[in-house]
Amino acid sequence: MLDYQYPKKRIDFEVSVPRRTPEDRADIVVYEDDNLKSPYLVVECKRDGISDAEFKQAIEQAFGNANSLRAKFAAVIAGITRTAFNISAFKPSEREKNVISDIPKKYGKAPKYRFIKGDKINDIKVVSKDELIRALEKSHDTVWQGGRLAPTTAFDEVSKLLFCKLKDEKDTPKTKPYKFQIGTNETAEEVFKRINEIYQKAKKQDAEVFREDIRLDAKVVYSVVEHLQGIAFVKTDLDTKGVAFETFMTDFFKGKMGQFFTPREIIRFAVKMLNPTKDDLVLDPASGSGGFLLNSMDSVKIFAEENYDEREAERHWHDFAQRNLYGIEINDQIARVCKMNMIIHDDGHTNVISTDALQDFKEIRNIHRGFKKDHFDIVLTNPPFGATVKATEKEYLGKYELGAKNKKRKSQKTEILFIERVIDFVKLGSGRIGIVLPDGILTNSSLQYVRDFIMERCQILAVVSLPQFAFTHYGAGVKASLVFLRRKGDNEELGNYPIFMAIAEHIGYDATGREDPINDLDRILEDYKKFLKDPDNYKGV
């Protein structure tokens, strides 16, 4: 009535359909006359989240009802996925060439395109977090094709199409139709061709994000466009996008690749403890899906929005995102997930590289010149635990003091080598580190040499013990702590000094991953702020 200007008295619900089974009724019928004798449009409504097969079944139901009622148009809607058809001008079996971009307004002609940038009524819309998650899940299910593709391959392909969607939203001029949509009477091949043009152009501009072509059938791409075309990703606020993409990712990767995901409660706490500003160069050398980098960006964004006007604030945090955030991820696919995560959050992906963060600095700099020794203000990281670097496999082991440089060792744990690497990455005298470490490094008598190394090179700012279950939900059961350090300057002597110590028993979620209303990390952060004001006289709790 409001958007399409059909009169109330010409709309009926649950209409009996002649020549159909008695229980089969058309959900909504719009008529051309006041006496409700001449059906014009039949609408079939389904719950959000139905499968592609169920949606196709609903289309057949709509066609059956529309043909029996002799209506001119039909539409099927399931949440934000919706498709409309011109019934009267095509053969009864046609299901592709008769697709229209939208139902006509006020008995007029179907528009060539439904979504126009900047149009008050026909622009794409911001959706809720749950709708966004469902749209991403539907897209993944469409691409996965019930197991025809490996789940990780399907995720890659969805990411490529998401990338095209975001590019299209940003690049489409005002008053022009978006390219990432299905137009009236367009075939799957025509839609695919237009989406692929966006992708190929973007690929040339930024070959690091995606190196391969879209490897999907045109009909699959067409279905994903149906799910995503009406959503405004760019305008959706960062937190909604972040939680939706993270939920989609972690539900998808958890178990298989749980080690690449640090719980957001722990990430947020670590970022707040080190409180990055827009001038800080921030690095995560084991970036996984980008949690530490994105939360650092979010921290700077919140500060900017509280202290500057809208335009200044946007420039403030955008510059930080694009110039000051750096990540290294050894797994190429997860590195792409990290970049995609950052693109969805409004960029900063250009300084994320896929390589081994433990190799020689020279090798890392050959990939990207920004990754220098003694260069970063802050390192925030959750390095991989438990893996072993063998001298026979990696010659760089002999170059690490904690490797085989001073004492002949055949192998060393990655987390121990990471300690030395992150210290070398930050600036002398001022560089700060927040790192998740297994408790064995802090307590085992055989690892005293590691603790001595840390104390020789750094001032220990704080140690926060995490509960045993902190990482079990993500596929790792190692008891760990968060350790915060400042790299000492050359010849700096500290003598005895106070260290902030805390134990967190509740961290906002329980062993099953369910939300816990109690979160000790909030109180610990407040206590740490008090400690910083007067470390020598801080009494603790």
In a domain, 111, yes or no: no
Report the distance separating Cα 287 and Cα 271, nearest Å.
14
Structural domain that includes position 522: 238-537
- For residues 266 and 373, membership in a common domain is answered with yes
Domain boundary among 193, 228, 263: 228
Per-residue pLDDT reduced to its tens digit, 403-455:
988 888 999 999 999 999 999 999 999 999 999 999 999 999 999 999 999 99
Question: DSSP per residue over 371-403, as a string?
Answer: --TT-BSEEEE-PPPS-EEETTT-GGGGG-TTT
pLDDT recorded at residue 288? 86
Residue with tokens 């960062």: 238
Number of domains in the chain: 3
pLDDT recorded at residue 441? 95
pTM: 0.79
In a domain, 117, yes or no: no
- For residues 262 and 178, membership in a common domain is answered with no
In a domain, 123, yes or no: no
In a domain, 486, yes or no: yes
Are 110 and 97 in contact, with CB atoms under 8 Å apart? no
In a domain, 122, yes or no: no
Beta bridge partners of 390: 411
pLDDT recorded at residue 348? 63
pLDDT recorded at residue 168? 94
Low-confidence ranges of the chain (pLDDT < 70): 20-23, 207-209, 250-260, 346-348, 473-476
- For residues 410 and 272, membership in a common domain is answered with yes
Q: The domain spanning residue 60 has which CATH number?
A: 3.90.1570.30
Domain boundary among 204, 228, 252: 228
- For residues 248 and 396, membership in a common domain is answered with yes
The beta-carbon contacts of 148-154 under 8 Å, at least 24 apart in sequence, are 151/252, 151/256, 152/256, 152/333, 153/215
pLDDT recorded at residue 474? 60
Domain boundary among 84, 100, 116: 100
Per-residue pLDDT reduced to its tens digit, 99-111:
999 999 999 999 9
- For residues 312 and 425, membership in a common domain is answered with yes
Q: The domain spanning residue 520 has which CATH number?
A: 3.40.50.150
Report the distance separating Cα 349 and Cα 334, nearest Å.
13
- Phi, psi for residue 43 in degrees, rounded to 5: -120, 130
In a domain, 514, yes or no: yes
